[in-house]
Amino acid sequence: MEHSNQFLGTERIGKLMGQYAVPCIISLLVGALYNIVDQIFIANASYLGSYGNAANTVVFPLTVVALAIAVMIGDGCCAFVSISLGRRDSDTAKKSVGNSVIMTVVSSLILTTVYLFFADPIIAMFGGTVNAETFHHSKEYFFYISLGIPFYMFGQAMNPVIRADGNPKFAMVSTLVGAVINIILDPIFIFTFKWGMMGAAVATVIGQAATALLAVWYLLNMKIIKPAKGDYKLSGQVCGRTLILGITSFLSQISLVAAMAAINNMLRKYGALDAIFGQEQYAQIPMAVVGIVMKFFQIVISIVVGMAAGCIPIVGFNMGAGKKLRVKELFTKLLIAEAAVGAVALILVEFFPQQLINIFGAANESVYYTEFAIKAFRIYLCMMIFACVNKACFIFLQAMGKAAASTALSMIREVLFGVGFALLLPMFFGLDGVIYSMPVSDILTFVIAAFLIRRTYQELKEEQ
């Protein structure tokens, strides 16, 4: 049974990419749609508008914290399992899955408790005090989202585990079911029942619970990796290796939270000094707008990460089997595909920003909202091609087992550059400095990534 995925070492690379990457892309896109769909419906509800949008932007990084922990466990387990199966070590693969289940459940319950007990200071930390109305909506939305954290984390962590078991389609379907439920319930709760932020959050939690239940069912019916009761006993060695392999996924997400916290607070600080956004009725606009721009970026990055993460089992297996030339071929095709995605996204943000912002209820807002949104789209995302290639590089290095290089590059991008420039540039350019921080960070990161890409190619020249 443990040798049933040997086709990863023989099947045509292009075919494997389609087989594994497409379901992963769809899974991540659907996962991203939870928050994005909420924001679209919130923005188009006249009684919520930009205040609800700003509240969604405040809470979004806090859901990313949960996602960071979940993908660290899930992606780490996926890489560990794939490498183990490439070495024909099914016992270690089973232990990784069992330990990952326990780590996910325990960490999700701890995070939920922290969120419920420290809601007010956490919301304030992420810019929720920009005005009273935004704080009220943020607190309501955050409470109900927090209740769903265990479901959310379990579904997200088990998704890559299911892919590693050779069933990317089920991973996709389980996430899709939850998102469809959310899309159906959102307009009912927001427009029909008039439940506002609570309605958006409850719809999301119900969808997340459905995905988690499907993940539980799959774990009880796995195809290749069938953990026994003893595999669920925590092992320091297994947990450590799993977390090390997943640390890049964690840091890429958690550092994004740090960048978003810096950005939100800079928007609040320098928005208050702006002639327009310093007025109480417009104070929430910069935060609402940048939140929307980042949601579009999240859609693009979901495709980018999906392509790269979908290749993790292929990379891990072939590295474990010593087939470096196949890994090199995969790396080349992945980089080309990621750059193409970035190019398409760049065309959209530069030529169609008005159409993009209209999706998020711009028709109900002031001219200041629209003007700032168009500028934010065009400047903040002008280096999308570099951003996409950078992200692919992070994940591919992780899949190869190069956790140190991958982690270092991710931390430089998100913390040193992402947080640093978000804090530094507004000192010279005011509110505009916040939106300059993204392209500057991506350009400098690409310089470093190009060096690592070249070195990786040199290491993959010969078969082991």
pLDDT computed for residue 2 by the predictor: 42
pLDDT computed for residue 3 by the predictor: 45
Q: What is the per-residue pLDDT across 325-359, written as a single tens digit (0 to 9) for each?
A: 888 999 999 999 999 999 999 999 999 999 998 88
pLDDT computed for residue 166 by the predictor: 81
State yes or no: pLDDT of 132 exceeds 80. yes
Output the average pLDDT for the chain.
Answer: 89
State yes or no: pLDDT of 272 exceeds 60. yes
pLDDT computed for residue 123 by the predictor: 95
Q: Look up the pTM and report it.
A: 0.78
pLDDT computed for residue 4 by the predictor: 55
State yes or no: pLDDT of 217 exceeds 80. yes
pLDDT computed for residue 258 by the predictor: 84
Average confidence (pLDDT) over 266-273: 91
Contacts of 453 (CB under 8 A, 6+ apart): 335, 393
* pLDDT band, residue 50 (cuts 50/70/90): confident
Average confidence (pLDDT) over 29-44: 79
Average confidence (pLDDT) over 123-150: 93
> Would you tell me the crossing angle of helices 285-310 and 13-43 to the nearest 10 degrees?
160
Q: Of 358, 394, 376, which is closest to residue 436 (Cα–Cα)?
A: 376
Q: Using CA atoms, how far apart are residues 265 and 446, in angstroms rounded to an integer? A: 27
Cα-based torsion angle of the residue sequence 153, 245, 221, 149 in order, rounded to the nearest 10 degrees: 0
Average confidence (pLDDT) over 406-413: 84
Contacts of 332 (CB under 8 A, 6+ apart): none
Q: Of 260, 305, 389, which is closest to residue 28 (Cα–Cα)?
A: 305
Average confidence (pLDDT) over 120-127: 93
State yes or no: pLDDT of 389 exceeds 50. yes
pLDDT computed for residue 224 by the predictor: 84
